[in-house]
Structure 1
Amino acid sequence: MVRGKTQMKRIENATSRQVTFSKRRNGLLKKAFELSVLCDAEVALIIFSPRGKFYEFASSRMQESIARYRMHTEDAQAKNVPSEQNIEQLKHETAAMMKKIELLEASKRKVLGENLGTCNIEELQQLERQLEHSVSNIRTKKMQVYKRQMDHLKEKGNALAAENASLTEKCKFEPERGADGDRANIQFADISEVYDHVETDLFIGLPEARIRCLLFEN
C-alpha cells in the first residue's frame, strides 16, 4: 500500500524545532561544501536562525559572490525591460502598419466598386486599367484550363475509338465453308444485303437456316 506524502508544516515544539534546525543546517552546509569541491562550483550560502543568528559558507570570498550575484540580476533585468527608445520605435512601426492596413482596405473597397465618390478621373482610369489587366489574366488562365480539358477529352475519345474498332473487328463472323467449299467470309454487311432482298414469303425454321437458304438461292 502506497502512503501519501506527509504535508510539511512548522514544528510546534521549540526544543524539537531547534534540534531539527541544527541537524538540517549542518547537512546543508556540508552539501554546499561538497558541491563546491566535487563540481568546482562557486557556492555561497547564508542562513539566519529563528533567533537571528547568522551562518554562512562561501567557496570563495562572500562579498565577491554577492557582487557577482547583483551584477547578474541587474543585467537580466536590463535585458527584460525595453528601453524608452525601443518603445517609441515600436509605436512608430505600429502606427505605420495600421496606416498601410487602412490603405489596403480602401483600395480593396474601390476594386469592389465601393466608395468611388472621392476618386478623380485619373484614379478611376488607373482602377479601370487594373481591372482590365486582372480580367485579361483570368481569361488567359480560363483558356489554359479549357485547352487542358479538351486535350484530355480528345485523348479519351481516341482511346474509345481504338477500343471500338477492336471490338468491331472481334464481332465479325468467322469464315464458313459449305459442302462445295465456297460461300466463305460472310460478315454482317453480307447478311444486311441478304435481308434487303428477302421476299415476304412465309418461312418456318431457325433464322440461321433461313439465311443459308437465301444465300444458296442467290
Structure 2
Amino acid sequence: MLVAAALCPCPPLLVPEVASGAAAELDGLRAACADAVAELLAAGPELLVLVGGGPQAQVWTEGGIGSFHRFGVDRVVRLPVGGVEGPELSPALSVGAWLLEQSGTELPAHACAVPADTPVERLVGLGEGLAALADRVGLLVLGDGSACRTVKAPGYLDERAEEFDAGLARALGAADTEALLGLDAELCRELQVAGRAPWQVLAGAARGAGLGGRLGHQEAPYGVGYFVASWS
C-alpha cells in the first residue's frame, strides 16, 4: 500500500557537480527536494520505489547504477543505496538515486522507468502494481513541468505553458489524482512536459490510499517548470 510520495523535478543541474559554478542558483530547489524526501522517509515506508521517465519501460529490483558522465562529470550513484551494481538508470532516475544518497537512507529501493508516450491505462495499472509490492510503499516521483515557459527555454515560448503549469501545481499540491489522470498526452508532448507519465503512475498507486498533498516549492529558473510536493 502506498503510504507517502515525494514529487521532485529531475534536472541534472540538481547535482552540484553537474551545475558547477551555477550550483547556487538551485540551492532553494535542492533544499525543497531534501525536505520532501525527508517527509517521505518519516512516513515509515519499508520499500522505496523511484519512478521517472526513460527511453523504454524498465524496472530495477536488484540494484542499478546511474552516472552523469554524459554531462562531463565523473559522478556515479547507485540503487539501492549501498547495493550492487545493476543496469544503468535513466537520467531522471539517476537524479532520484542522488536524492536518496543525499538523504542517507538505507531502505531497499527499486526503480521504474516509463516512456513519455505510455498510455494512461498502462500507467495506472503499473502504479497499482507498485503500491502492492509491500505493506508500506513510498514513491519518489521524478518529473518536470513544461519546458516552454520562456523564449530561452529548451522548447522556446509557448503561451499555453504558464497556465498549464499553474493547473499542474494545484493538482500536485492537492494530491488530485483525477486531475493528473486527465492530463492530455498530446498537449504534454507539445509543451515538453517530462512528468506526465510518472505522475500518472503515482495517480494509479494513490487510488484509494487517502493521501493528502502539500506543494512545497515551485519555480521556473530556466524556462522549465519545477515542482516539489509531498503526499502523505
Q: Normalising TM by the smaller chain, what interval?
A: under 0.3
**Richer in helix (by share):** 1
Answer with 1 or 2: which has the greater Rg. 1
TM-score, structure 2 as length reference: 0.17
**Richer in strand (by share):** 2
TM-score, structure 1 as length reference: 0.18
